[in-house]
Chains A and B, each alone.
Chain A
């Protein structure tokens, strides 16, 4: 017939709906942002590698049209009559769900039909999470060089130590060399032997002047010499030897530990903690890009410090005063016990509202300078307060001057500061 075209469209773009999907997210960004920030409260800070389920009340995304309402008189025809005849009456169900309107369907998975539920991707999740932070694309930052190295194979070399001799490679080279050097001579030998054979089998001329004998002798000598030459080619030569080559590559230490230190004294409100939490999440994401394995240690403190679970860290409240050094002491103890700086890259982030007992601040400075900073890659301190600084800040300022490579501090007044501050803290420092 030839009227039909059959077209393979499968390789055409499949994301025709991407723009429309994006339009939808754009329109409901407010809802989604709310869902995302709720999800952050719920999620562990190490749990940032997935998207999120967002649900929006159906009435908010409804596209209204003129419809019939309930009431009035209406007819409906249905299939499958079993026993009724004309004139029968059927009691209406309680609640008057009635016929007609809204063919309300129960959702099979228990999600109410009054919720519109959909999934956003991890990227979208992060985008919404840091939306008010004006998150640019996270550029990969080079962290401080690590001490560990690994050796990787880097081809072969002709010089090396016997232990790295590659026998197969070397013999293969030798074989090739022998073939190369002997090939022309062997060919010559074969030619001469053929000539010799021809002379020897040809009937000898009666005239001695034309005797082949001289020629035969000359050929025999030449062949013998050539064969001797071939035999002199060494089976293996120094130039055949090949050694495995290795290069020293800096090995990104595969494990890191991140200490989260937070003041949980009475002055820290949930808002403070949420800001801290976002900051910790950022740090975690950042480390995640560079290390395979990350341990997270949560230390909270008021007048005394305690290692806790993440849950307790963010959500339990304490009252009373603040002694920051208690947390630093505990951190040092944990490093000694579990995280040898030779094997672990140690990062720490401390969040506080700046409160500390005045006498304690110098102790903190000393502890950090002597006991902690020499062991860690980086120590960051964020002070979440719009107010004036107290002694801890000034003490830490001194530290920053002395240890610009491993210590940084910033102040955060509201959520919008988190990302810029984070960036500032983790900017590559001139070496």
Chain B
């Protein structure tokens, strides 16, 4: 037994590793993967991990590149952007600049995990633990996934989408379909109802509803445009009512339902992209939690195997080497630094939660009185289920982690010619630091807040969007390009107003004002 390998679940060392190792070579076979999976499943059950059934698929590096290029969708519609992604991935891979991910895992039921055939056996075991038990239980347990995605229906829906897109291509031509998809992709991040729970999608229903929609949708839209609101008789001076009456944050939904000129099939394409955006929405908000959870469990489960004597020292050393590089956080001044590593942050928080439950310090009792000394499994599961990255960090980032990672916050104000350090890992800074780090994971902090403001229903049918900046941060250079896409979908003039301090500061428009247009 190697003294340098932790035994996190066996603190007294009372459990001698009595089992025989499942394997001693690092060559994998299907039989061995099966055996490891069974052993890991047993450990996962000990820890109460609740998962969808697993489907593990062994694939080649080339197939992994294919999977990569379709953003992990096992079935995707055809689009040039996936081809671009593929070219990029294969170039990087062929030059050895980039290793492929060890795994891709799909939020579906059964939960599909891809293993690459190049992996060694310890790597395969790591991936099974990480993806098939870590991510899988996260998909099944986290409230965002429970609310926003339907693991039972996604594959069927993807098949429906793929077939629908290729049917449209046959009927209306590749270019026409590509144009609409390009425009929808540009707005994909604005295709989600952030607060309303969407109804679950099911492919069968979808096909049926799609036909029904075709019949009445167009009529409904015509109705909208035909209905001229009666002028307010009592008060002719009163501001004319806006449409929509409340700002709408789901741009794609608004377009799907209200764009005057879209054909029915075009609306359906908008809907497909919107549904995909919705499917990916939880992933974008739980990267730290999800990767941290999966990393915590591959670490814990494989150590459990070791404690049971089912894997030997050689296996553990190879596994730990991979694990260490996965959760490595380069400092800000390292050439490898590219922001905070979500694996590190998430893994640290879950690990620290367990530590606080099992070995609380005075500091923990002061900061986390409701956690220190409680049942660690219950605490971790609660944390996994009920948060997204932003609230998770705000809730659980401990002073110890801030010290371990030596976190510091700096402020970059374009009015100043220097950066200011606003907080560091000390008593005075913990809370500020935690708030600021949490805020970084708030989607509306990362993406400009843009909503549908008004449609000139009685006039030129122009669409006005409003941008409400945070901290005076302006829109990027691509804004006009994106507006062209909005214009393509909307079919009439599109305006984008930036409203800061209650005043319209700046307006983008498409088509732009031409010079001689006076």
The reply on B457 being an interface residue by CB < 8 A is: no
The reply on B207 being an interface residue by CB < 8 A is: no
The reply on A10 being an interface residue by CB < 8 A is: yes
Is A75 a contact of B406 with CB atoms below 8 Å? no
Q: A73-B414, A76-B410 are in contact. Are A17 and B56 (CB under 8 A)?
A: no
The reply on A234 being an interface residue by CB < 8 A is: no
Is A92 a contact of B418 with CB atoms below 8 Å? yes
Is A78 a contact of B421 with CB atoms below 8 Å? no
- Stretch touching chain A among B208-216, B349-357, B478-486: B478-486
Q: A63-B81, A72-B469, A118-B87 are in contact. Are A99 and B412 (CB under 8 A)?
A: yes
Q: A9-B58, A81-B407, A81-B408 are in contact. Are A24 and B436 (CB under 8 A)?
A: no
Is B420 a contact of A64 with CB atoms below 8 Å? no
Is A12 a contact of B63 with CB atoms below 8 Å? yes
Is A6 a contact of B411 with CB atoms below 8 Å? no
Is A86 a contact of B421 with CB atoms below 8 Å? yes
The reply on A422 being an interface residue by CB < 8 A is: no
Q: Which residue of A lies closest to B432 (CB)?
A: A86
Q: A9-B58, A69-B474, A81-B408 are in contact. Are A86 and B428 (CB under 8 A)?
A: yes
A71 interface neighbour in B69, B329, B337, B474, Cβ under 8 Å? B474
Q: A17-B83, A24-B83 are in contact. Are A66 and B482 (CB under 8 A)?
A: yes
Q: Which residues of A contact B189 (CB under 8 A)?
A: 65-66
Q: Which residues of A contact B331 (CB under 8 A)?
A: 79-80, 82
Is B429 a contact of A72 with CB atoms below 8 Å? no
Q: Which residue of A lies closest to B31 (CB)?
A: A6
Instruction: Scan B466-482; emit 1 where CB is below 8 A from any A CB, else 0.
Output: 00011111111111011
The reply on B190 being an interface residue by CB < 8 A is: yes
Q: Which residues of A contact B423 (CB under 8 A)?
A: 86
Q: A20-B78, A80-B332, A80-B334 are in contact. Are A73 and B413 (CB under 8 A)?
A: yes
B80 interface neighbour in A27, A82, A85, Cβ under 8 Å? A27
How far is B80's CA from A61's CA once the two chains are assembled, in angstroms?
A: 10
Q: A85-B426, A116-B84 are in contact. Are A20 and B409 (CB under 8 A)?
A: no
Which residues of chain A from 5 to 58 have any CB-CB distance to chain B below 8 Å in the complex? 5-10, 12, 14-17, 19-27
Please tell me the size bucket of the interface on B: 35 or more
Number of A-B contacts (CB under 8 A): 279
Min C-beta distance of A349 to chain B, whole Å? 37
A67 interface neighbour in B110, B425, B448, B472, Cβ under 8 Å? B448
Is B69 a contact of A20 with CB atoms below 8 Å? yes
Q: A4-B37, A14-B66, A25-B83 are in contact. Are A84 and B421 (CB under 8 A)?
A: yes
- Stretch touching chain B among A100-108, A174-182, A378-386: A100-108
Is B440 a contact of A64 with CB atoms below 8 Å? no
How far is B94's CA from A109's CA once the two chains are assembled, in angstroms?
A: 13
Instruction: Scan B389-414; emit 1 where CB is below 8 A from any A CB, else 0.
Output: 00000000000000001111111111
Q: Which residues of A contact B95 (CB under 8 A)?
A: 109
How far is B417's CA from A286's CA once the two chains are assembled, in angstroms?
A: 66
Is B448 a contact of A68 with CB atoms below 8 Å? yes
Q: Which residues of A contact B476 (CB under 8 A)?
A: 66-69, 101
Which residues of chain B from 221 to 246 have any CB-CB distance to chain A below 8 Å in the complex? none
Q: Which residues of B contact A20 (CB under 8 A)?
A: 69-70, 78-83, 85-86
Q: Which residue of A lies closest to B63 (CB)?
A: A14
The reply on A337 being an interface residue by CB < 8 A is: no
Q: Which residues of A contact B114 (CB under 8 A)?
A: 9
How far is B136's CA from A3's CA once the two chains are assembled, in angstroms?
A: 13
Is A90 a contact of B60 with CB atoms below 8 Å? no
Q: Which residues of B contact A9 (CB under 8 A)?
A: 57-59, 63, 114
Is A23 a contact of B475 with CB atoms below 8 Å? no
Which residues of chain B from 478 to 506 have any CB-CB distance to chain A below 8 Å in the complex? 478-479, 481-482, 485
The reply on A117 being an interface residue by CB < 8 A is: yes
Min C-beta distance of B343 to chain A, whole Å? 13
Q: A4-B54, A86-B429 are in contact. Are A77 and B87 (CB under 8 A)?
A: no
How far is B406's CA from A101's CA once the two chains are assembled, in angstroms?
A: 23
Min C-beta distance of B287 to chain A, whole Å? 15
Is A4 a contact of B55 with CB atoms below 8 Å? yes
How far is B334's CA from A64's CA once the two chains are assembled, in angstroms?
A: 30
Instruction: Scan B424-436; emit 1 where CB is below 8 A from any A CB, else 0.
Output: 1110110001001
Q: Which residues of A contact B446 (CB under 8 A)?
A: 68
Q: Which residues of B contact A14 (CB under 8 A)?
A: 60, 62-63, 66
The reply on A74 being an interface residue by CB < 8 A is: yes
In this complex, the member of B42, B80, B407, B447 whose beta carbon has the largest number of chain A beta carbons within 10 angstroms is B80
- Stretch touching chain A among B178-186, B266-274, B309-317, B362-370: B178-186
Q: Which residue of A lies closest to B473 (CB)?
A: A72
Min C-beta distance of A86 to chain B, whole Å? 5
How far is B69's CA from A118's CA once the two chains are assembled, in angstroms?
A: 15
Is A72 a contact of B474 with CB atoms below 8 Å? yes
Is B80 a contact of A26 with CB atoms below 8 Å? yes
Min C-beta distance of A110 to chain B, whole Å? 13
How far is B71's CA from A63's CA once the two chains are assembled, in angstroms?
A: 15
Q: Which residues of B contact A100 (CB under 8 A)?
A: 412, 473
Is A64 a contact of B80 with CB atoms below 8 Å? no
Is A84 a contact of B57 with CB atoms below 8 Å? no
How far is B88's CA from A21's CA once the two chains are assembled, in angstroms?
A: 11
Is A67 a contact of B418 with CB atoms below 8 Å? no
How far is B68's CA from A20's CA once the two chains are assembled, in angstroms?
A: 13
The reply on A91 being an interface residue by CB < 8 A is: yes
How far is B440's CA from A230's CA once the two chains are assembled, in angstroms?
A: 104
Q: Which residues of B contact A109 (CB under 8 A)?
A: 95, 97
The reply on B151 being an interface residue by CB < 8 A is: no
The reply on A1 being an interface residue by CB < 8 A is: yes
Q: Which residue of A lies closest to B465 (CB)?
A: A66
Is B478 a contact of A67 with CB atoms below 8 Å? yes
Q: Which residues of B contact A79 (CB under 8 A)?
A: 329-332, 340, 405-407
Given contacts A8-B58, A79-B340, A98-B412, 13 further A-B contacts (CB under 8 A): A7-B56, A16-B67, A23-B178, A27-B80, A63-B185, A66-B482, A68-B446, A72-B470, A72-B472, A77-B408, A79-B405, A80-B332, A101-B476
Instruction: Give 29 A-B contacts (CB < 8 Å), ordered by A residue.
Output: A1-B38, A3-B41, A4-B34, A4-B38, A4-B41, A4-B56, A5-B53, A10-B117, A17-B69, A19-B78, A20-B69, A20-B78, A24-B86, A63-B186, A65-B189, A66-B190, A68-B474, A69-B476, A69-B479, A70-B414, A70-B474, A73-B473, A76-B409, A79-B329, A80-B405, A80-B406, A85-B421, A116-B87, A118-B88
